[in-house]
Amino acid sequence: MNRFERFERFGAKLGVLLCLAGFVLIFLGWNGAASVDSVTAQFPYLISGGLAGLGLIVLGAILISVDIRRDDGRRVEEMLAEVRDALARLAPPVEEEVVDTGTGPRVVTGQTSFHRPDCRLLEGREGLAEMSLEAATARGLLPCRICEPARAARAPGRPARTGRRPRARRGRVGPR
């Protein structure tokens, strides 16, 4: 056990004690200065009681602040350890890499979803991986809700929806 570890537990208590001692010194300095009529005779009381008391109060406040920060840091480390453990428990097991066979329709993959190569969400983005539709679904990627690559692969003769709603007809009011 380190010799400073014993005093780490008493940081806030020692700080409160020093603050109390500082207030007592300020009171004694004020009491001593109040008992003397001459201003020049009051200076020693103000200096010894006032400045020393103020110094003890500041030192005590610093000790209290350091102790509170130390406790907060300890609590944050414990919470981070709990979050790290929870994430480790919730993380899916590492699966073997899915091999892209290269057959079937090709899709462009993101981190969580896959798209048709002409999807409007991919405009201006470069360097995205391309693979077969089967490999993307085997990896657990979700199809894009805008370009719907899975529907386009099932019905190659029909164009995929663009994701836009049809315009309302003029003159119609209310629900369709």
- Looking at the structure, do residues 22 and 79 belong to the same domain, yes or no? yes
- For residue 175, give Cα distances in angstroms to 1, 48, 165, 168, 170: 77, 85, 14, 10, 13
For residue 72, pLDDT beyond 80: yes
- Looking at the structure, do residues 111 and 82 belong to the same domain, yes or no? no
Inside any domain, residue 84: yes
Query: Per DSSP, what are the bridge partners of residue 142?
Result: 113
Residue finishing a domain among 90, 124, 143? 90
Inside any domain, residue 141: yes
The pLDDT-based confidence of 81 (bands split at 50, 70, 90) is very high
Which residues constitute the domain of residue 68?
A: 7-90
CA 69 to CA 75: how far, in whole Å? 10
Mean pLDDT for 138-151 is: 84
Inside any domain, residue 11: yes
- Looking at the structure, do residues 11 and 86 belong to the same domain, yes or no? yes
- Looking at the structure, do residues 77 and 127 belong to the same domain, yes or no? no
Inside any domain, residue 122: yes
Report percent pLDDT > 70 for the chain. Answer: 74
- Looking at the structure, do residues 18 and 54 belong to the same domain, yes or no? yes
CA 111 to CA 174: how far, in whole Å? 41
Between 60 and 100, the more confident residue is 60
Inside any domain, residue 167: no
- What is the rounded radius of gyration, in angstroms, for the C-alpha atoms of the chain? 37
For residue 99, pLDDT beyond 80: no
For residue 167, pLDDT beyond 60: no
CA 104 to CA 113: how far, in whole Å? 18
- Looking at the structure, do residues 149 and 80 belong to the same domain, yes or no? no
- Looking at the structure, do residues 53 and 16 belong to the same domain, yes or no? yes
- The answer to whether 53 touches 24, Cβ cutoff 8 Å, is yes
Inside any domain, residue 169: no
- Tokens 């899975």, residue? 150
- Looking at the structure, do residues 140 and 70 belong to the same domain, yes or no? no
- Looking at the structure, do residues 69 and 119 belong to the same domain, yes or no? no
Residue finishing a domain among 34, 65, 90? 90
DSSP label of 120: G
Q: What is the pLDDT of residue 159?
A: 52
Inside any domain, residue 173: no
The model carries a pTM of 0.46
| Number of structural domains the chain divides into | 2
Q: What is the pLDDT of residue 161?
A: 52
The two three-digit tokens of residue 17, written as one number = 């004690």
- Looking at the structure, do residues 11 and 78 belong to the same domain, yes or no? yes
